Structure formats: C-alpha cells, structure tokens
C-alpha cells in the first residue's frame, strides 16, 4: 500500500502576506501557476482579510481571476469573517480556510477578540460555507507557544481544535506560529489533539525559527499525521511575532519525505526551481537548503 503525504503549499498566501514591499499581482499569479504545475494537490492562493490589516493581499480578486486552474488542484482562500466569506463565494470559491489561535493574548493582538469570541465569530461562517457545499479548513495558531503569553497549555490547543472540528471544519491545521516547538512537545500536542479530532483530519504547520521544523514534522509523521503545510523557498513569517522566521521550505520537506519513502506526487526539482525564481523576484535568496545547493551548482530556471 502506498504511504502518501499530502503537502499543502501555503507560500502564495502565508508567505507573501508578510513581505514588506508590495508584490505585483502578476508575480503572485505566476507563482501560483508555477506551483500548480509542480503537482501539489493544494495551493493556498490568497486571503480575503481587510486590506487595511493585510495590504499585501488587497488584490485577492484579481489574483483569483488571473490564475490558471488545474484539474485536481484546490486553491483555498483564507477568510476571517462573514464579509470575507461573501467575497470568496462571489468569486465562486469552493475551498476556504478560517483561523484562530489557542492563546487569548495572540487572538486579542491579532483580531481584537479572545479565543471564545473568535470561535463564536467563526461558527456562522463555517455553517454558511458548509451549507453552500464549500469545504472548510481550520487553522489553530500558537499551538506550541505565543509571542505574548509564552507557553500555551496543550489542553487549550485541544479545546480549540475540538471546537473547530465540532463546527464542521474538514481539516484542522496545527500551527507553531513562532517556531519555538521541539519534537517531543510537537508529538505530545499532536497526539492530544488526535483524541478529539481524527488523525486523518489533522495537519501540521511549522515555522523554522530555531531550525526544528523538519525534526518536528518527522516526529509527527511517526505519530501518524499525513498532511503537512509548507511554503516554497521558506517564505513567510509572523508579523505579530518578532524574530519569527519563515515557514518550513517545501523543497526541503520534499527531500526528507522522499528519503523516508513517502509519496507526495510533487516534483521536487520543479519546486526548487520555483523557489529560485520567486527568490529572484523578491530580491533575495530562498531560505532553504535545497535552493542553496542548487545555486551553488549553478542552477537556472
């Protein structure tokens, strides 16, 4: 039997939303199209949050209208509330994501509402989406630490993950927003969440601030998870967490998964070329080992 890991590419949304300089709409469209051609089952495209708070993604409608959609590829969009959902549905989107955090302090800084208030605000959004036949992914931030609160009790993560699952979210992504997690803590958190959300409906999302992301993924794979989020070239970071580096680089993740004999259906070389391309477009080198090796070997697009 094939052992398959579904890699969710989040670079176009979670990565580009934190860029200091405005990224041209054409570059965003080209990035998504390149990633689609790599074989990903999911490429998170953009976000319908307020342009006031995330100006980098103010062109969400234009991006979605411009991409070339491939059969078998989902292009979910992040929505924070009913207004975001209305924008997404007006574009005909069939896959959305909602987000909250396990920390009251983070939620208050990020969305001006505590955890319970955030969940209450999301419930009608999820209900409306599900009634329209739209799939919903739920993100839980700060699952291994909060930049304002510090340690986050595992029970708080479990409570939030369970609440999103009870609302009807098809999948719950557990995010180490500031990258402070280590393997033992990551495994403990995942297994605790699996007591209230079936493991096949859980995903992990690690940032690489302390170089622990691949180790955290490995221990979670051993615990049974088979959905992993990552961003091409290690794009991203957390605007609310000083010093938090980017997401786990997709090309580095793919290298490890291949070495473990796990299938993804994604072309690693094509992803690495895409990492080099977007790095050049953004004026910097991609934050991944594979891209560094490719550059040292004179790789070109």
Quick one: pLDDT at residue 300? 54
Q: pLDDT tens digits for 91-103?
A: 999 999 999 999 9
pLDDT at 301 over 60: no
Out of 54-68, 171-185, 188-202, 229-243, least confident range: 229-243
Residue 280 resides in a domain: no
pLDDT at 26 over 90: yes
pLDDT category at 239 given cuts 50, 70, 90 is low
Domain of residue 202, CATH code? 3.20.20.70
Domain span at 73: 6-267
Residue 274 resides in a domain: no
Mean pLDDT of 260-274: 97
Quick one: pLDDT at residue 34? 98
pLDDT category at 111 given cuts 50, 70, 90 is confident
Q: Active-site residues: which are they? A: 238
Residue 260 resides in a domain: yes
Residue 232 resides in a domain: yes
pLDDT at 240 over 60: no
Number of domains in the chain: 1
Mean pLDDT of 169-179: 96
Q: How far is CA 183 from CA 90, 188, 236, 255, in A?
A: 42, 9, 21, 19
Predicted TM-score (pTM) of this structure: 0.95
Quick one: pLDDT at residue 175? 98
Residue 272 resides in a domain: no
Out of 53-57, 123-127, 164-168, 191-195, least confident range: 53-57
Structural element, H or E, at residue 109 = helix 104-111
Q: pLDDT tens digits for 187-224?
A: 999 999 999 999 999 999 999 999 999 999 999 999 99
Residue 288 resides in a domain: no
Listed residue (266, 297, 300) closest to 280, CA to CA: 300
Residue 28 resides in a domain: yes
pLDDT category at 21 given cuts 50, 70, 90 is confident
Residue 286 resides in a domain: no
């Amino acid at each position: 039997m094939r052992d398959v890991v579904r890699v969710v590419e989040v670079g176009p949304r979670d990565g580009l939303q934190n860029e200091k300089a405005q990224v041209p709409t054409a570059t965003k469209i080209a990035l998504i199209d390149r990633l689609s051609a790599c074989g990903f089952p999911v490429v998170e495209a953009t976000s319908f949050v307020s342009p006031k708070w995330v100006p980098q993604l103010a062109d969400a409608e234009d991006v979605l209208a411009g991409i070339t959609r491939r059969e078998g590829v989902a292009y979910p969009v992040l929505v924070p509330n009913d207004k975001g959902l209305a924008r997404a549905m007006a574009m005909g989107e069939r896959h959305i994501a909602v987000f909250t955090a396990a920390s009251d302090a983070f939620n208050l800084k990020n969305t001006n509402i505590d955890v319970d208030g955030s969940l209450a605000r999301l419930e009608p959004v999820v209900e409306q989406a599900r009634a329209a036949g739209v799939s919903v992914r739920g993100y839980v931030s700060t699952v291994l630490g909060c930049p304002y609160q510090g340690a986050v009790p595992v029970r708080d993560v479990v409570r939030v993950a369970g609440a999103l699952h009870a609302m009807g979210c098809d999948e719950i992504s557990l995010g180490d927003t500031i990258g402070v997690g280590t393997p033992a803590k990551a495994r403990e958190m995942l297994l605790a969440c699996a007591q209230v959300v079936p493991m096949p409906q859980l995903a992990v999302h690690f940032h690489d601030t302390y170089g622990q992301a691949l180790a955290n993924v490995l221990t979670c794979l051993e615990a049974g998870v088979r959905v992993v989020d990552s961003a091409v070239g290690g794009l991203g970071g957390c605007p609310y967490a000083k010093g938090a580096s980017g997401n786990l680089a997709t090309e580095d993740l793919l290298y490890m998964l291949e070495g473990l004999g796990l299938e993804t259906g994604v072309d690693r070389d094509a992803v690495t070329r895409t990492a080099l391309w977007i790095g050049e477009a953004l004026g910097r080198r991609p934050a991944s080992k594979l891209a560094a090796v490719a550059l040292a070997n004179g790789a070109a697009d």
